[in-house]
Chain A
Amino acid sequence: MSSDIYKDIILDYYRHPRNFGELPNPDVRAKDSNPLCGDVIEMQLKINDGKVEDIRFQGKGCAISQASASMLTEVVKGKTLDDVKALGKPDVLDLLGIDPGPTRIKCALLGLKVLKLGVYGYLGQTITEEVKQLV
């Protein structure tokens, strides 16, 4: 039995989230929720020399929101803040390996939004409309 949306990789990250938990003394924290599903994601980042030195996330909600957030933490570790700012919707869909469709896309993009809120917040920059529109 298989599901088109729920690829093994999504369920694996949902059941065994990587980088889940609390980061001691993070340089920045960000949190947001998706009112449709009630998904909540919080990210904590340790930033050093313009790079994401370490990252953890916490949250609850549907499998798509939690898996995509976890996958993103792996991707951005070691990347520059500019790299993080450049991430977009296609990158998240690539990670998930599916297009969740119009009703669930907000679940998929919540992690990215929180990540960007954190980075923009750390840099003291105004959040772009594009980021606001993510969820």
Chain B
Amino acid sequence: MEKLTTINIPRIREDFPVLQRQVNGKPLIYFDNAATSQKPKVVIEATDRYYREYNANIHRGIHKLAEEATLAHEEAREKVAKFINAAHTEEIIFTRNATEAINLVAYTWGRKNLNKGDKIVLTIMEHHSNIVPWQLLAEEKSAQVEYVKIDDEGRLRQDEIQELIDEKTKIVCVTQASNVLGTINPIKEIGRVAHRYGAKFLVDAAQAVPHMKADVKDVDSDFYAFSGHKMLGPTGIGVLHAKREHLQSMPPFLGGGEMIKEVHTTGASWKDIPYKYEAGTPNIVGGIGLGAAIDYLRKIGMDNVHDHEKEITSYALSRMSEVKGLVTYGPKDIRHRVGVVSFNLGDIHPHDLASILDEEGIAIRSGHHCAQPLMEFLNVPAMSRASFYIYNTKEEVDVFINALEKARKLFAR
């Protein structure tokens, strides 16, 4: 199919003030987008405007500012719902981040529905945020946690998906895109297997929603979690999407103001969803900022975002293959990966490499990437990681390659 629009990267770069910055006397090259993205002016201005013009607490105030703030915050919820194709706006719960969204499911749905001997199926490539909440729950309930392994290219093993998910399985939790390997997982198919056995299906979409079209109706996930700050939005705002019937039957998460209908000395009753799960004054400005980020991404078009990242990633992979002693991890086929490339260069420790690149103004990540079970499985103590977004260019990749060569020569003695 012919592309309807193409994106103008130099114009996009102008929207991101931080990209004008120098680091160690060199232009900043920001390749740490899987950790957090930079923010466009529209997001910075939307949050600034809230504080300057209509800062107020939401939902209960009977005055103009409260009305405007409530409207803006609820509009953001609608934007999120449309962005991921949710059936209903009230299926969108605002959390602090993807981690809190997953914890919310473990603490509410999990505590109510899991019993001794039940099985939780995860994958070996999960981020700690999609492992530790389930380990805690499993310990409390004497349930088991099992992990689907990966093949040599970092793709989930189909045989293990079929084998591990069974009648005992109550929930299957899978990342849509790996923050280490970049692998895009066949979540729709995995969800079908989970549902065949009556298990719930949770998707950690933190590395997917910022980079490709999201569609919770198509995926048919029960729970879908992601963070605002990785998709051009502010930190401290995340999203849990859950099917309406689950939210209606699950117990509340945190108790307090905003989430109650009535409170008496003898007990309390809950507000309708989504508010039942949003105790206390929410991150109002975070929601508004996320709404602005979504507007910005929609304007560019998520297919364009994905296409651009595929182009940069495949260019980076090809240039990196020219560097002597460099090993990359993850799928070879660009159709199966997002813009995340983890690698090691000879025997240079990833932290040494990150320091050398930092001297060149290049920001990458190094370490275990909050995925220690995966690192153990691969038997690699640490990796470096370059991760791309809409504002990154091939010219930046070239500078990055030169810096890698510099590091290689420095340590070749």
Contact = CB atoms under 8 A, between A and B. Distances in A.
A6 interface: yes
A64 B352 contact: yes
Interface of A: prevailing SS: loop
Interface of B: 349, 351-352, 355-356, 359, 367-368, 381-382, 406, 409-411, 413
B349 A104 contact: no
Interface of A: 1-6, 11-12, 15, 36-38, 61-64, 100, 104, 107
A6 B356 contact: yes
Nearest to A4: B359
Interface of B: prevailing SS: helix
A125 to B, nearest CB: 32
Given A1-B410, A61-B349, A100-B355, 8 more contacts: A2-B410, A6-B356, A6-B410, A36-B351, A37-B367, A62-B349, A64-B352, A104-B355
Contacts of B382: 37-38
Given A1-B409, A11-B413, A37-B382, A6 B352 contact: yes
A86 to B, nearest CB: 29
Contact of A5 (B356, B368, B413): B356
| Interface-centre pick from B352, B381, B413 (highest chain A CB count, 10 A) | B352
B346 to A, nearest CB: 12
A104 B349 CA distance: 13
Top 3 A-B residue pairs of the complex, sorted by shortest distance between their CB atoms: A62-B349, A62-B351, A37-B351
7 contacts: A1-B409, A5-B359, A6-B355, A6-B410, A11-B413, A37-B382, A62-B351
Contacts of B411: 6, 11, 63
Given A37-B367, A37-B382, A62 B352 contact: yes
A63 B367 contact: no
Contacts of A4: 359
B93 to A, nearest CB: 33
A2 B351 CA distance: 18
B413 A3 contact: no
A104 B410 CA distance: 19
| Interface-centre pick from A2, A12, A37 (highest chain B CB count, 10 A) | A37
B189 to A, nearest CB: 35
A64 B410 CA distance: 14
B356 to A, nearest CB: 6
Nearest to A100: B355
Given A38-B368, A38-B382, A3 B351 contact: no
Nearest to B366: A37
A107 B351 CA distance: 10
Contacts of A100: 355
A1 B405 CA distance: 10
Contacts of B367: 36-38
Contacts of A5: 355-356, 359
A20 to B, nearest CB: 15
Contacts of B359: 3-5
A12 B410 CA distance: 11
B410 A11 contact: yes
A2 B413 CA distance: 13
Contacts of B409: 1
A4 B409 CA distance: 15
Contacts of A36: 351, 367
A63 B407 CA distance: 12
| Interface-centre pick from B349, B410, B411, B413 (highest chain A CB count, 10 A) | B349
A2 B368 CA distance: 28
Contacts of A2: 410
B374 to A, nearest CB: 15
Contacts of B410: 1-3, 6, 11
Contacts of A1: 406, 409-410
Nearest to A61: B349
Contact of A104 (B351, B368, B413): B351
B180 to A, nearest CB: 15
A114 B411 CA distance: 26
B219 to A, nearest CB: 36
A114 B400 CA distance: 36
B408 to A, nearest CB: 10
Contacts of B356: 3, 5-6
A2 B352 CA distance: 14
Contacts of B413: 11-12, 15
Contacts of B352: 6, 62-64
B352 to A, nearest CB: 5
